[in-house]
């Protein structure tokens, strides 16, 4: 995260966060990061860290906000300076925005990113992972998404093509892992469990960026309900930031001793989870997420062009 960003996230565990009247200092392991105090308008603390009262006092005096998240990126609370007012212009612009303007490019980019990954797998698999007509259908759906005029059509096609995508993915993975499609909790196979872990990490990173920009994570454009705007943001990022890593683990990294599946749930071994988390830290690009949030915010506030970064 560059020091010029107005929101500054600290992820993971074990960090030490201090501040003087001039700078914020974050120490994590052997790395030390320093930011001018006035450049940090919103400190976002994700996971477990040591927060010195010097940081709290100096940031609040400077008019900054501190938001706390659990390790999965779910917001749990805020600290505001006396007299603080959130950036109501951003929330108001989000509330009055026409959802279709944002939902259409988000849905189209989500499908396009998945198509690119499927084509990448097809080139490497040495076998045809598509049934007759599937690829043509997905291409046609992409064209329909780009011209769909109703939110109902956008949401229907987005759900349908996502379901197809996971079923096609299953043919490129070892059948003994038991993955056939994306399911809801509880997960009965290790691939769904790995997807869940990856999507939780991606969700957390995106939620942090949205809240840092004063956007409402529950006021979505394409999706609806709690966390819907976060789901809007992560949909085009899943394929490259999470799915590619999970597929590699499923095909090359996972062994019989790395998971245990019963009738009610599949559990990932701690070592496998740690290795996957390390890989996901490399593949989840926070700078691109932050850039996408800035594009969203500028489109809402200044009617700037909205486009999606997805590959």
- 131 secondary structure, DSSP code: P
> Residues 255-271: what's their mean pLDDT?
91
35's tokens:
């930011």
Phi-psi label, residue 295: left if phi above 0, alpha if psi -120 to 50, beta otherwise = alpha
Strand residues in 1-152 grouped as ranges (E): 7-10, 13-19, 23-28, 31-36, 42-46, 48-51, 65-69, 75-79
223 is known to lie in a ligand binding site: yes
Backbone φ and ψ of 25, nearest 5°? -120, 125
Q: What's the gap between Cα 190 and its chain centre? A: 21
Sort strands 48-51 and 7-10 into parallel, antiparallel or unpaired: unpaired
User: 134-167, pLDDT tens digit by residue?
Assistant: 999 999 999 999 998 899 999 999 999 999 999 9
235 is known to lie in a ligand binding site: yes
For residues 169 and 118, the answer to whether their CB atoms sit within 8 Å is yes
Report how far residue 19's alpha carbon sits from residue 21's, in angstroms, rounded to the nearest whole number. 7
- Which residues are bridge partners to 34 per DSSP? 25
- Which residues are bridge partners to 17 per DSSP? 26, 51
For residues 43 and 10, the answer to whether their CB atoms sit within 8 Å is yes
Residues 6+ apart with CB under 8 A from 167: 180, 181
pTM of the model: 0.82
Q: What is the pLDDT of residue 4?
A: 37
Per the document, the length of the chain is 311
User: 109-118, pLDDT tens digit by residue?
Assistant: 999 999 999 9
Q: What is the pLDDT of residue 126?
A: 65
């Amino acid at each position: 995260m560059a020091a010029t960003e107005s929101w500054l996230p600290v992820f993971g565990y074990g960090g030490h966060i201090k501040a003087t009247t001039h700078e914020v200092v974050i120490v994590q392991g052997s790395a030390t990061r320093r930011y001018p105090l006035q450049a940090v308008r919103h400190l976002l603390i994700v996971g477990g860290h040591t927060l010195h009262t010097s940081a709290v006092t100096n940031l609040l005096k400077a008019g900054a906000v501190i938001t706390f998240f659990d390790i999965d990126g779910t917001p749990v609370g805020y600290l505001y300076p006396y007299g603080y007012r959130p950036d109501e212009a951003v929330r108001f612009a989000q509330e009055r925005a026409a959802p279709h303007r944002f939902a259409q490019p988000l849905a189209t980019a989500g499908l396009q990113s998945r198509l690119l990954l499927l084509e990448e797998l097809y080139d490497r698999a040495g076998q045809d992972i598509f049934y007759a007509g599937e690829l043509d259908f997905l291409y046609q759906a992409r064209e329909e998404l780009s011209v769909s005029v109703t939110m109902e059509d956008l949401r229907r096609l987005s759900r349908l093509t996502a379901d197809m995508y996971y079923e096609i993915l299953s043919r490129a993975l070892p059948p003994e892992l038991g993955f056939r499609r994306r399911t809801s909790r509880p997960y009965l196979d290790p691939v769904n469990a790995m997807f869940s872990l990856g999507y939780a990490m991606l969700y957390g990173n995106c939620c942090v960026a949205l809240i840092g920009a004063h956007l409402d994570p529950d006021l979505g454009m394409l999706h609806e309900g709690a966390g819907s705007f976060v789901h809007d943001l992560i949909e085009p990022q899943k394929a490259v930031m999470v799915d590619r890593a999970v597929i590699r683990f499923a095909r090359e990294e996972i062994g019989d001793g790395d998971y245990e599946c019963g009738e009610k749930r599949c559990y990932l071994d701690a070592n496998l989870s740690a290795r996957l988390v390390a890989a996901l830290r490399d593949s989840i690009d926070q700078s691109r997420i932050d850039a996408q949030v800035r594009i969203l915010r500028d489109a809402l506030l200044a009617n700037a062009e909205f486009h999606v970064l997805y590959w």
